[in-house]
Homo-oligomer: A and B are copies of this chain.
Amino acid sequence: MSEVREKAQLAKQTAAVLGKLTTNEKNKALLEMADALIARAGDIIEANADDLRRGKENGTSSSLLDRLALNEERIRGIAEGLRQIVELPDPIGDTLETIERPNGLHIVKKRVPIGVIGIIYEARPNVTVDAAGLCLKTGNAVVLRGGSSALSSNRKIVEVLHEAMERTALPAASLQLIEDANRSSVDEMLKLNGLLDVIIPRGGSSLIQNVVMNSTVPVIETGAGICHTYIDESAQPDMAAAISLNAKVQRPSVCNAMETLLVHEAFAKSHLHSLAEAFKERNVELRGCARTLSYAPWAREASSEDYATEYNDYILNVKIVDDLDQALAHIAEYGTKHSECIVTENGQNAERFLQEVDAAAVYHNASTRFTDGFEFGFGAEIGISTQKLHARGPMGLPALTSSKYVIIGSGQIRE
């Protein structure tokens, strides 16, 4: 039997036990795991050094090496993340609905774990701990397949977590790491219907698209974000500048950062030149429509490919539109249904934008950067869903649950 199938089976066998654990048992285990990470930080850093050495030999970029690198402080941060998950309310067992039927049937809809969750991700060893913590807190078993460039780190981290779990009620087998670094192990996970209940991809768009297009296991699509900010005619200039600058430069590498600024032509006449200067000062490269270039002559002309690109970088498309309709049409064409914002003082336009834009999060007068589990008050998140089924937007613990109807009768039969 392949490693993938064997480990998925081992994970699945723990599902019944996991579903019965109390919140207290799960929390104790997570705390034990957090302590173990800190106690064994030295070993983890040593294993991580192997990955870094290999990465350097293979010419990995310095930004990727930075994401991969672990040190004492980062490990403390990762352990702290587990402790934060302990603080979150446990959704398992919650009553979602109670129905009393005329025939005396008593129906309760309860939250239950999903079962076995597959996570496919890249070279970020923090995801290993993070995903494990969120899945286990919700009573799910988890099969992790991280990027091969972090394999040595992930192996050591999981070894440390397993040792900690052995001292708790949480079965160690409920956390599985696929060590097969071949692409074929991902392909196999995508076809494990009956063993995996869902696959959540975390990473860049090519990883996500591979999972979406090839998985026969249900997928929760996360992450891709071509987010827009539309500055309407009536926008307060200072607010419009603050929101759009924040949406672009506060952290350009993330999915809720803005990629394209849409500007009403009347606003552009009075304010686009100074706004463009402000982006320039912050080292943002501008790619503009023909009209934009007259306000920012240093900008390069934007192609339709640019409008369809998630830069995750200090690059911004700027397009001048005649009205709200054109802004809505542009977003419908190029948006990825993640986060979209209108800055306006016109209530009617705001309402239309919030109603008509089809996205997980639609904003009036606030930065798209708020689309985030912590910022919404959910605590840690497993990702931001850009699909419409099951969960949409930031996914906290409830997104990792399913439900079950429990029906209590006294001999009822159907007439």
Contacts and interface: CB of A to CB of B under 8 A. Distances in A.
A148 to B, nearest CB: 25
Secondary structure of the A contact surface, majority rule: mixed
Given A218-B387, A365-B411, A370-B412, A358 B115 contact: yes
Interface string A124-166: 0000000000000000000000000000000000000000000
A370 B412 CA distance: 9
Contacts of A213: 193, 216
B358 A411 contact: no
B414 A250 contact: yes
B358 A388 contact: no
A406 interface: yes
A242 B413 contact: yes
Interface stretch (A260-268, A310-318, A397-405): A397-405
Interface string A199-219: 000000000000011101011
Contacts of A54: none
Interface stretch (A57-65, A99-107, A299-307): A99-107
A367 B410 CA distance: 10
A410 B365 contact: yes
Contacts of A242: 411, 413
Interface string A381-415: 00000011110110000000011111111111110
A236 B411 CA distance: 9
A246 interface: yes
Interface stretch (A14-22, A30-38, A44-52, A168-176): A14-22
A317 to B, nearest CB: 20
Report, as a range, how many residues of chain A touch the other chain.
Answer: 35 or more
B390 A390 contact: yes
A354 interface: yes
A190 B414 CA distance: 37
Contact of A366 (B99, B369, B389, B409): B409
A359 interface: yes
Contacts of A358: 15-16, 19, 112, 115, 404
23 contacts: A20-B356, A101-B376, A114-B388, A115-B388, A193-B213, A213-B216, A214-B216, A218-B218, A218-B387, A242-B413, A243-B411, A360-B405, A362-B404, A362-B406, A362-B407, A365-B411, A365-B412, A366-B410, A366-B413, A367-B412, A367-B413, A367-B414, A370-B412
Interface of A: 15-16, 19-20, 99, 101, 105, 107, 112, 114-115, 193, 197-198, 212-214, 216, 218-220, 236, 239, 242-243, 245-247, 250, 332, 354-356, 358-367, 369-371, 375-377, 387-390, 392-393, 402-414
Given A250-B414, A361-B405, 12 more contacts: A19-B355, A107-B376, A198-B388, A242-B413, A354-B406, A360-B405, A365-B410, A366-B408, A366-B409, A366-B413, A367-B409, A393-B405
